[in-house]
Amino acid sequence: MYEDLISFSSPPVSRIDTMEISHRHPKRARTLAAGDAEIWAAAHAVVDQLHQNTEFVWFAEPVDTAKLNIPEYDRIIKKKMDLHTIRDKIARGDYEAVDHVADDVRLVVRNAVTFNKLPTHAVHTRALTLQQTFEVMWNADVIPLMGSGVEAQKPKPAPEAEQPTEEPAAPIEAAEEEADVSMGAQEAEEPMTKAKRSQMLTARLSELIERDPDAVESVLGVLGYQDDPDQTYSIDLDECTEETLGRLETYLKQQEDAQV
């Protein structure tokens, strides 16, 4: 039903045994309707599959602001959330209602598009894919277990980025900062150094290869490498000339425009 939307690097964990959930969380089992353990197991399975999906690795764990060097994240995002935390909260029985699980998944998406405001930013677009995938899985696996009085919900609209009370920061990709700043009143952009340009191109190149592995041959040609199937290449854009970086930038823009 939703297999075409997701791909897994490893098989998803089987659903938690319903009797085990009832035993571990007797309060929850008593206060919700009969059959609720199956609903909680289904909710856990949905979140667990999303957590294992490599497409959503940026949202799998809490944001490490120190590692990513984004101290402004704590100022802009007031209520943090990630898939690992949601999965653990279900297992511990922290949620009062299963709908709160869905609310937290949507909070993950809202935080991502708030901090990475540009609609074309990789994290922004991947977050919307996460929401679309979640809504399909939730309607297929959880909603039907909630009884005949609950109809499958229509997919939620794409979340709007929250307006931070302070000046927003430049969008940040999972492991690197993007230099293009185009939201609201911002300070003047820093001069584009070769190192920063190489960093940006590396991120764009990685995303292209992830999207289209067959593009490797064309990329090697743009960078001036001879394509040899028996050769392993280690590409370091910091060592490329400005002319080569310019050719790569033009090539990447053509590929990105073709995706629009």
C-alpha distances (whole Å) from 226 to each of 172, 218, 229, 239 are 34, 10, 10, 17
CATH architecture for the domain at 3-146: Up-down Bundle (1.20)
> pLDDT tens-digit profile of 198-253?
778 777 877 777 777 777 778 777 777 765 666 665 677 777 888 887 888 887 88
SS (H, E, C) 85-132: HHHHHHHHCCCCCCHHHHHHHHHHHHHHHHHCCCCCCHHHHHHHHHHH
pLDDT interval class at 160 (50, 70, 90): low
**Overall average pLDDT of the 154-166 stretch:** 54
Give the DSSP letter string of 193-234: -HHHHHHHHHHHHHHHHHH-GGGHHHHHHHTT----TT----
Q: What is the pLDDT of residues 78-116, one digit of tens each?
A: 999 999 999 999 999 999 999 999 999 999 999 999 999
Cα 78 from Cα 170, distance rounded (Å): 17
* pTM for this predicted structure: 0.51
Give the separation between CA 146 and CA 36, rounded to whole angstroms.
8
Q: pLDDT-based confidence at 163, cuts 50/70/90?
A: low
172 pairs with which residues across the strands?
177
Question: Could you tell me which residue, 4 or 240, shows the higher pLDDT?
Answer: 240
